[in-house]
Structure 1
Amino acid sequence: MRVPSPPPTAAEWQAIRVRDSSADGRFFYGVLSTRIVCRPSCAARPARPESVVCYETVTAAGEQGFRPCRRCRPDQPDTW
C-alpha cells in the first residue's frame, strides 16, 4: 500500500537545489514522474518542487515504488 509522502520542507528543497552533500544521509528524495529516489547531492537535473517527495531512508522510498538513481546510487554506502 502506498502512503502519501510529504513534499520537501524549505530546508530540504534548498539542499536539493544546491546539491548539498552535507545533507546526504539525512534524507532522500523521490521524483514522482520518474519514480526514482536520489541523494540530495545528486548531479541529475532537479525536478520541480511539486514533483518531489522526501523519505528518511532509501528502503522507505523503495516500499513506495521508487528505484535507486543510477547516477548517485543512494542504495550504496558513501565511498568518499
Structure 2
Amino acid sequence: MKFGAWLTAQDERLDPVGKLARDYLGSCGCGRGSCGRRRVNSVAGVRRDIDHHGGHPDALDALDQAAAEWRSAQE
C-alpha cells in the first residue's frame, strides 16, 4: 500500500497522525476517496508538500511518526 493511501485511512485518529491525515485529505479539497489532483503518495512527497507550505515542526514530527508506523505495517 502506498503511503498516501495508508495516511488517508488514518483520518479518524485523535492524535497527530490523524490530524496530518485530515490535513492531507483537505489539501486537494475533495476529501476521502480517489482524487485525480492528489500528487503525493510517498513520504518524501508529503514532506516536500509540508515544507513548501511552511508547515509547522509538529507536522513534520507527525509525518515521522506516520512514516515509521507505515513502514512497520509494510513488513
TM-score range, shorter chain: 0.3 to 0.5
**Structure 2 length normalisation: TM-score?**
0.34
> Which structure has more helix as a fraction of its residues?
2
**Structure 1 length normalisation: TM-score?**
0.32
